[in-house]
Every structure is written in C-alpha cells, then in structure tokens.
A and B are shown apart, each in its own frame.
Chain A
Amino acid sequence: MKKGLKVFALVAVTLIVQRLLGHPRILPLATAFLLPMPWIIGPPLLGFDRRWYWLSFPIGLGWDLFFEPIVGIGAIAWSAAALMIWTGTSIAAERRTCAWFAAGAGGAVVFWLIRSICFLPLDLPGTPTWSWIGISALLTGVWCAAVHTVMVLDLPARWRQRQARRLRL
C-alpha cells in the first residue's frame, strides 16, 4: 500500500472512530477529543516536509462530511489549526511530549475558534461554549501527548527486541 493512500486510510479510520465517540452509550465528553489533531500537529513536530500542511484540507473536508451540517467550515478550521502549528514549530524548536500537548491544545482552541468565526456570517447554531473549548483543548492535548508517548516508546521495536532476546536465550 502506498504511503499516501495509507495516510488517507488512517485518516478515514480516525474520523470513523471520532464518529463512534459520539455514540449515545459513550461518555458525552468523549466528543471533546479531536482525534485527527495528531495528523495536523504531527508533520511539523516531526520535521516533515511543508507539503504535509495541505493534508489539513482533506482532513477538514472529511470532518465536514462526518460532523458538520455544511461542507467547507471544517476545512477552514483544520487548516487554520495546521497553519498555527506550522508557524509555531518554525518559531519554537521544542519537540517533546509537552510540545505535543501544547500543540494539540492550541490546535483545538484554534479549531473551535475559527469554526465559530466561520459560523458567524452564516447565522448557524453550534458555537461551543468557552468551557467546552477548554475541555476539548485539554483532552485533545492529552490525546496528542499520548500519541507522542506511544511513538516514543516505539512498541513494535521493543516487541521485536523482546522476541530477539527470547530467541537468543
């Protein structure tokens, strides 16, 4: 499977999981997680090429298809968050887990704010409260930090080392 197609497939899976978080039997705060955020903050924090920035637009369009009443707003909001992250990482050289947390929380705040601003001229309901934005920022930051932690742990490599050690014994 090609790398690009693989990324899109994973993004789609992420969106589907995000959709599942809104299931009535799941905790209401679960929707405060913005699961696609690692796809937005990951490339700049990992030092990927700048063209990865454009990935935010398809993610936003997919978000629109799954979670918004109209198409277009999510693309703007997610790309705004991506733009903020790309700008921030070019200024700050921090790449640790706390940076992932801050980027995730900041991206969530930017996402919700830009989404609300875009809703203003359209006279549409759905603007979140400040408390919801705070909760979402916190949880999204935690989610991003968790992703980075898992990436740092590199569990497949550890698993392979463990298997090799067992074979040597």
Chain B
Amino acid sequence: MLSVSDLKAGYHETMILQNVHINVPEGKIVGLLGRNGVGKTTLLKVIMGLLPTKQGTVSFKGTKWEKERPEHRAGMGIAYVPQGREIFSDLSVKENLLLGKEALPKSQRSKNIPEEIFKWFPVLKEMIGRKGGDLSGGQQQQLAIARALISNPRLLLLDEPMEGIQPSVVQLIQNVLVKISKEKGISILLVEHKLDVILSCAEEFYILDKGRMVATGRCDEINAEDLHSHLAV
C-alpha cells in the first residue's frame, strides 16, 4: 500500500531523515517507534506531502509521489491524524466531521454523517452540535480520528493518538483501530512511543533512531535488546 525507500528529508537545510525505508502492507497496522525528536512526525509529514523529499521515493498504491500537494494525497486515500489532534476548535463537531468528506468525490459529500462513525465513537453523537474546542482531550482525539475515517481512507497515518488521554479512551481507540483494519482493510501507520500500545494492536514494527530505521520486524518477535538500545531513555 505505502512504500517509502531511501528517503532523505528535513526542514530547510537540516536533514532529519536519512535513507529511511518503510512498507505498510494493505490492511495491516504497522507501528513506528522511537524516542522524542528522532523524526517520526517528520516522516508522516513527508508522506502526507507537508514536507518535501530531498531524496528517495514515496509510493502509494504503486504510484510514485513527488510534489503532489496534501489535498491531492488525501483525495488518493490517505488520511492524517496529527499530533495534538488539530481539530477546528471554532467549528462544531458536525462541521469538523463534514470537513473530513472533502477528500471524497463531490457526489459522495452528503451532509449526513455515516452511522458507523457514531458506532465507533458514540460520544460524538452526543456532542454533535458542540464546538470542537469545548471537547475534552479524549473526545477531541476521537473526533480527529473520526474525521479522518469519514473520508474512507485506504491508509491512515496516526501521530501519537494516545498521548495524554485517559486509559478507557485509549482502549476504545485501540479497539476501533484493530476493527477498521480487519473489517475495512484499512492500512494504518501508527506512530507511538508507548510500546504496549504498539504490541497490542500492530502486527509489524519499525524503530527510528536519529533519523534512521534501526530495527524492523514482526511485533510477536520483537527483540528486547533492540527495544532497550533504541527506546530506553
């Protein structure tokens, strides 16, 4: 589904990512681990088209992307939930959700919110008329994920979605991610620094350290030594 190879990218002259490779197969959840500041968010921004590539390729469904803008990539089936949710705080929950439909063809942009969204995140139905900024952190996170899912993506990029939210909501989000991956065949690239979250829902993992991929494999075969040397603070 997504293939990144030999990628170099960064901000202006500062190179953050060095020769990064990553593959996200169809319908799988892939975890991306790493300490703070190693380039995880940068990688997601490059995939989404928010940052340019200096070298290497990003391919999605077999098509190589170069300078395609984020809106084009969203239209092709990538949805992005950034760190800090970035919901539109002055817009209502419904308006936030409807904005998620912008990536769909015009004929599919009805003003109805699909019931399955409320099935996954029931609290959003209760809050539908409230402003996004009035929601709690956990509710905002659910809104951000629901807004991404409403565009029927083929690949979901999640940047530390469990950060700073209560355990019951973490569990709810984990369940939804596993469910949509299995039932809808959505591929998920999950950036997370909590190992237990990755182990409980991802099938494959990558570890990023100082801008380089230093370890990869199946989650059930994860190596304690890798974890210790690249993730321990």
Bound pair (A, B): no
